[in-house]
Amino acid sequence: MSLKVDEKKGYFGEFGGSFVPDELKQVLNLLAEQFDHYKNDPEFIEEYKYYLKEYVGRENPLTLAQNLTRNLGGVKIYLKREDLNHTGAHKINNVIGQILLAKRMGAKRVIAETGAGQHGVATATACAMFDMECIIYMGKLDTERQALNVFRMELLGAKVVSVDKGQGRLKDAVDAALNDLVENYQTTFYLLGSAVGPHPFPTMVKHFQSIISEESKRQILEKEGKLPTAVVACAGGGSNAIGAFAHYLEEESVKLIGVEPAEAPTLTEGVPAVIHGFKCLTLLDDQGNPKPTYSISAGLDYPGIGPEHSYLKQSGRAEYVTITGKEALEAFQLLSKVEGIIPALESSHAVAHAVKLAKQLTKDDVIIVNLSGRGDKDVEQVFNMLKV
């Protein structure tokens, strides 16, 4: 199958693009040009790889989940261990890439928006290390619910701006960050956290997250001498999933499966629409506005999804399934108990689907589950959910 992707313009079939005011478009065009240049620059690549190794701790293992494999009848289940990265998830891969680009472009300030706070913490971490001024926009409601993450960001030297407009949620924080960018683009870099937003962000985030499948493909060929039957990853905005899929897109024998929360089934039930400056499949309410979603994992609560996933779904190259909060919670406990690995609630959605899938496959099959993050951040929430 040949995929209709135009990375230069940021179109994935009919999805993607850049639906923003002219002044912002100019800023994004400049960013696209610079990204295009540096992504092929040997020194830039070397520096990116250096920090991934020395700061993030890559490459991380592709661990055979021995007990899970045995319990499920012998289908080999491998876990790609993004949970072992510094800061405990895949988000840092992208943050390091973008901050190196920001430095090359001469930026002095980095701004970002965050909902649950995980992208804000990853950004604040890298800004501390690279000595950049860091401003994190966060909806007022989210700052109240995620007080500990606000404190983490402040410890790391970031300034957290609580956005009181609108509903005080992620969308309002995005608007505030975009306004800041338009006003201060000469000194400021907007560091976006998932494979969403107007061009070039989806392409750029995919590029930096592709390290996941670059490694996993090499690792699985070393361990099994063949490609996996399936790669399974959870999808919120879609960055860990697109990174986990990237190097298998052209390998038609490999099934690519994205897992959404049943409470935010963007790809399963969404319709094509423009939100936040790009076109994707998205959940709309009766008035045609992006619909607020309520999943147990804050990191998967986004009414839209990256444009490339929208296209992979439409073209049939990838398959998207849903997992309920209850199933994710069971998988969270299962992996903890049998493998001694506490997964993030987001990643637990992928684990839950892999368990279902394993029951339909045979001993000759191999599944890679992208373990996008570790679950320490979720332990208190799970404690409260299991208590009632």
Q: Please list the active-site residues.
A: 91, 113, 372
Scanning the structure block, which residue is given the tokens 């943050």? 95
- If the CB atoms of residues 75 and 329 are measured against ligand PLP, the closer one turns out to be 329
Is 236 an interacting residue with respect to ligand PLP (CB under 6 A)?
yes
Is 200 an interacting residue with respect to ligand PLP (CB under 6 A)?
no
Scanning the structure block, which residue is given the tokens 């790009």? 278
Q: For residue 147, report the phi and psi dihedrals to the nearest 5 degrees.
A: -55, -35
**Which strands, in side-by-side order, build the sheet including 133-139?**
159-163, 133-139, 109-114, 188-190
Stretch that binds ligand PLP, among 147-155, 228-236, 319-327, 358-366 (CB under 6 A): 228-236
Among 87, 93, 118, 149, binds ligand PLP (CB under 6 A): 118
Instruction: Please give the radius of gyration of the chain, using alpha carbons only, rounded to the nearest integer.
Output: 20
| Binding track, positions 144-173, relative to ligand PLP; x by CB under 6 A | ------------------------------
Residues 116, 131: Cα–Cα separation, whole Å: 24
Q: Which of 163, 237, 166, 165 is nearest to 206 (CA)?
A: 237
Is 260 an interacting residue with respect to ligand PLP (CB under 6 A)?
no
Instruction: Examine residue 251 and say whether the peptide bond preceding it is cis (omega within 30 degrees of 0).
Output: no
Q: What is the nearest approach in angstroms of ligand PLP to the Cβ of residue 21?
A: 25
Q: Which of 207, 246, 215 is nearest to 37 (CA)?
A: 207
- If the CB atoms of residues 75 and 153 are measured against ligand PLP, the closer one turns out to be 153
- If the CB atoms of residues 83 and 185 are measured against ligand PLP, the closer one turns out to be 83
Is 237 an interacting residue with respect to ligand PLP (CB under 6 A)?
yes
Q: Which of 193, 222, 244 is nearest to 79 (CA)?
A: 244
Q: What is the nearest approach in angstroms of ligand PLP to the Cβ of residue 146?
A: 13
Task: Give the dihedral of Cα atoms 376, 332, 117, 103; nearest 10 deg.
Answer: 80
- If the CB atoms of residues 237 and 277 are measured against ligand PLP, the closer one turns out to be 237
Q: Which of residues 64-103 bind ligand PLP (CB under 6 A)?
A: 89, 91
Residues 286, 263: Cα–Cα separation, whole Å: 17
Is 238 an interacting residue with respect to ligand PLP (CB under 6 A)?
yes
Q: Which residues bind ligand PLP (CB under 6 A)?
A: 89, 91, 118, 194, 234-241, 299-300, 344, 346-347, 372-373
